[in-house]
Amino acid sequence: MKAYACVYRHVIPSRRERRLTEQAATDIPLVRKYLDRYDEPDCFDDWGDDPSFFSATEILGSADQGTWGVCRRDVRARMKVGDFVAFFCGKQSRLHSWDYFYAGVATVGRLLDRHMIWTDDEYAPYRDFLNVLTRSVDGVLEQHEFVQDFHPDWKLRAEAPYLAFDAERSHFNTHRPLQVATYEQEHDSLERWHTEDERVQRLARLVLPSPPTTRRLRSINRYRSHPPLNLAGQAQRAGGFDCLRSELLDLVEC
């Protein structure tokens, strides 16, 4: 089994990105609703909706039925059914300031190739997800994105499976997630965890390496801000992957 901690970003989009996405929203009601929701204080969605908490909530009724299909191609390519990810939202507050929130746990339920989404009606709801990335037209994949900027390397990203979460073993708090850390570029090289909160202290013990290292949610390399954390060692300390997942799920609601 494998487990990772990964960060997705709730960024402040550029004016150009916002304008072009607004143009698309005139023809796609789900994009319009996504944009209207994105600026709310209690919104912790990814810019582009990957992982797809917004899409899953709107289309399937629960963020626990989300998917992962665009970012972290390298991590998605390694994962199998039953593997899991602890997701954190990095929410940009100013140009060089970020707050980090614990979004929840995603357990892989299915690994889909891009053609299956468009040829098997069992997966038809995913065709409207904002992170679907591609569509199959006469057996050929085409780029199919909604939120700017589009990915020039979409073909490479689409080579890794589209992961559908197992709702029975996944859970997210997408409205009031636990804030775990803060990063201010002017005086931080890594994010500062708010371990004065017992829940944050417990989460840090579950996710961060021990003994402490420079591996955090952020990297000290400013060109590689959010490297995934392999949780193999953390699972061993917790008594196994299932025990680690159980403890992480316990901390989702705050």
Lowest-pLDDT range, 52-56, 116-120, 222-226?
Answer: 222-226
- In this prediction, residue 51 carries a pLDDT of 95
Residue 211 preceded by cis peptide, ω within 30: yes
Give the whole-angstrom CA distance, residue 108 versus residue 51: 12
Where are the alpha helices (H) located in 64-197, listed in sequence order?
73-78, 114-119, 154-159
Sign of CA dihedral 142, 158, 108, 116: positive
Closest CA to 58 of 29, 79, 81: 29
**pLDDT tens digits, one per residue of 118-130:** 999 999 999 999 9
In 3D space, the residue among 174, 4, 206, 165 whose CA is nearest the CA of residue 86 turns out to be 4
pLDDT tens by residue, 163-173: 999 999 999 99
72 by DSSP, 3-state: which?
Answer: coil
Q: What are 181's strand-pairing partners? A: 100, 193
pLDDT at 254: 55
Report how far residue 10's alpha carbon sits from residue 52's, in angstroms, rounded to the nearest whole number: 12
What is the largest distance, in Å, between two alpha-carbon atoms of the chain?
56
pLDDT computed for residue 95 by the predictor? 83
Neighbours of 101 (CB within 10 A): 22
Q: How does pLDDT run across 181-210, given as a tens digit for each residue? A: 999 988 888 999 999 999 999 999 999 998
Handedness of CA 113, 165, 106, 36 (dihedral sign): positive
Whether 222 shows a pLDDT value over 80: the answer reads no
Closest of 153, 218, 162 to residue 189, by C-alpha: 218
- pLDDT category of residue 22 using cuts at 50, 70 and 90: very high
Rounded distance between C-alpha atoms, residue 66 and residue 120, angstroms: 18
* pLDDT band for position 177 (cuts 50, 70, 90): very high
Is the pLDDT at 31 greater than 90? The verdict is yes
Give the pLDDT confidence score for residue 94 in this predicted structure.
85
d(CA 96, CA 25): 28
Q: How confident is the model at residue 69 (pLDDT cuts 50, 70, 90)?
A: very high
Contacts of 173 (CB under 8 A, 6+ apart): 102, 103, 104, 252, 253, 254
Which band of pLDDT confidence, cut at 50, 70 and 90, is reported for residue 150?
Answer: very high
* Domain range annotation of the chain: 3-250
Per-residue confidence band for 3, with pLDDT thresholds at 50, 70 and 90? very high
pLDDT at 153: 97
What is the arithmetic mean of pLDDT over 230-245? 97
